[in-house]
């Protein structure tokens, strides 16, 4: 039996192991992909740490399980029922495996559904030399997009969906974006290329705030050395006293949620993306939402495949350059160094990419400059 190297969660405790595993075989409507690049998501960090969320969501019974869901690779085998995707295709993966029979899918919201499953959470993921996935969630990449960039399109899609919302009405508007994580930083870049006129970013780690500036943040404030009242005053000063048209909440902390509902103007939009450590989380319901007439938009995933389509075009055309957010590339076998980077606080990284192949790793290192 042919085997491959894979990063496997074996025990309900911190860490994971590099193991030899059989190369998967495709189900009739699945494909097998040779991984060219894969990136570490916050979700992988939760599972790696085996925090209460992963203990409940995945559970010890599912172990051993291969981690990972953000990927770019080449299809090496296609099941007998596959029609759209063929051997040789260069693809990335939508993580949300939708059920076309769910009501939300039938109404066009494929990314949220009662029977939705998640790659790398509900079954084996892509931190391996090969992995298998349903044809239905394969997205063909433009060959102009290098693998380390194609791999990060999944979180980039969160950013694009968060920035554009349901109506994509952002050109010429003002926006607050909170947080230092890769998706906050991607969102700054997307907002910039989509014509947001003024991007106000709140972060707390110097490296990440610098990346946000590279991605196009116009104004910034460090949340470590400012109060909520000072941040609100700053935003009002820069928006003619009105507040911003759109506030993207991308932290999930009480301060960030309070900031966003205070800073959004009347009849504006607050986009809720950050996941709170504890929920319910208090919100100024009367003044922040009702009397403001504001819209609250929750983001879970990406618009399938609207955000993929837009991002592929933006990336292939060179309009959007997300590479400042990719701070580190490692060989897949050095995944522990990658996770250490992601866990380290104060934060000294944004997106971390892993590559199984030595040559791909060398080429990506050269392009990223790390």
Which residue stretch of 33-41, 140-148, 221-229, 285-293 sits at the interface with Zn ion (rule: CB under 5 A)? 33-41
Structure tokens at 161: 């969906």
> Could you give the CA distance from residue 343 to residue 251 in angstroms, rounded to a whole number?
16
Whether 160 and 190 have beta carbons less than 8 Å apart is answered as: yes
Q: Residue 350 interacts with Zn ion (CB under 5 A)?
A: no
Give the x-and-dash track for 154-183 against Zn ion (CB under 5 A). Answer: -x----------------------------
Q: Residue 41 interacts with Zn ion (CB under 5 A)?
A: yes
Q: Residue 151 interacts with Zn ion (CB under 5 A)?
A: no
Q: Residue 299 interacts with Zn ion (CB under 5 A)?
A: no
Residue 46 falls in the annotated catalytic set = yes
Active-site residue, from 3, 10, 38, 46: 46
Least distance from Zn ion to the Cβ atom of residue 155, Å? 5
Pairing of strands 295-298, 264-272: parallel
Which residue stretch of 63-71, 121-129, 180-188, 274-282 sits at the interface with Zn ion (rule: CB under 5 A)? 63-71
**What kind and span of H or E run contains 364?**
helix 358-368
Q: Residue 71 interacts with Zn ion (CB under 5 A)?
A: no
Q: Residue 250 interacts with Zn ion (CB under 5 A)?
A: no
Residues 6+ apart with CB under 8 A from 316: 142, 144, 145
> Could you give the CA distance from residue 52 to residue 3 in angstroms, rounded to a whole number?
32
Residue 69 falls in the annotated catalytic set = no
Least distance from Zn ion to the Cβ atom of residue 97, Å? 14
Residue whose CB is less far from Zn ion, 70 or 129: 70
**Total residues in contact with Zn ion, by rule CB under 5 A:** 3
Which residue stretch of 62-70, 191-199, 213-221, 265-273 sits at the interface with Zn ion (rule: CB under 5 A)? 62-70
Nearest Cα to 278, choosing from 252, 255, 250, 301?
A: 252
In which residue are the tokens 């700053």 written?
Answer: 234
Q: How many CB atoms are closer than 10 A to CB 308? A: 21
Whether 274 and 250 have beta carbons less than 8 Å apart is answered as: yes
Q: What residues line the site for Zn ion (CB under 5 A)?
A: 41, 70, 155
């Amino acid at each position: 039996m042919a085997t491959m190297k894979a990063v496997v969660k074996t025990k309900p405790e911190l860490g994971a192991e590099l193991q030899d595993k059989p190369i998967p075989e495709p189900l009739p409507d699945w494909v097998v992909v040779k991984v060219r690049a894969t990136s570490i998501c916050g979700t992988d960090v939760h599972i790696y740490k085996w925090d209460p969320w992963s203990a409940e969501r995945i559970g010890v019974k599912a172990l051993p399980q291969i981690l990972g869901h953000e990927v770019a690779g080449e299809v090496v085998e296609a099941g007998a029922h596959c029609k759209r995707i063929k051997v040789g295709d260069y693809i990335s993966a939508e993580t949300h495996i939708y059920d076309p029979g769910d009501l939300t899918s039938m109404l066009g919201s494929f990314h949220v559904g009662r029977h939705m499953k998640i790659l790398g959470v509900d079954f084996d993921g892509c931190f391996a030399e090969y992995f298998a996935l349903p044809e239905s969630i394969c997205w063909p990449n433009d060959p102009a997009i290098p693998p380390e960039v194609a791999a990060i399109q999944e979180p980039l899609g969160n950013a694009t969906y968060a920035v554009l919302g349901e109506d994509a009405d952002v050109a010429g508007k003002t926006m607050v974006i909170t947080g230092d994580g890769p998706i906050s930083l991607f969102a700054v870049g997307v907002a910039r290329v989509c014509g947001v006129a003024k991007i106000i970013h709140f972060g707390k780690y110097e490296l990440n705030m610098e990346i946000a500036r590279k991605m196009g943040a116009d104004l910034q404030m460090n949340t470590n050395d400012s109060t909520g009242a000072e941040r609100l005053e700053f935003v009002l000063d820069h928006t003619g006293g009105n507040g911003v048209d759109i506030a993207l909440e991308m932290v999930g902390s009480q301060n960030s949620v309070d900031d966003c509902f205070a800073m959004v103007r009347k009849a504006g939009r607050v986009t809720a993306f950050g996941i709170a450590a504890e929920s319910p989380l208090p919100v100024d319901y009367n003044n922040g939402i009702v009397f403001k007439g504001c819209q609250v938009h929750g983001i879970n995933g990406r618009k399938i495949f609207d955000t993929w389509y837009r991002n592929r075009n933006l990336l292939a055309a060179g309009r959007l350059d997300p590479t400042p957010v990719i701070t580190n590339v490692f060989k897949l076998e050095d995944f522990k160094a990658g996770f250490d980077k992601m866990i380290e606080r104060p934060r000294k990284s944004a997106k971390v990419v892993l590559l199984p192949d030595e040559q791909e790793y060398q080429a990506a290192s050269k392009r990223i400059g790390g």
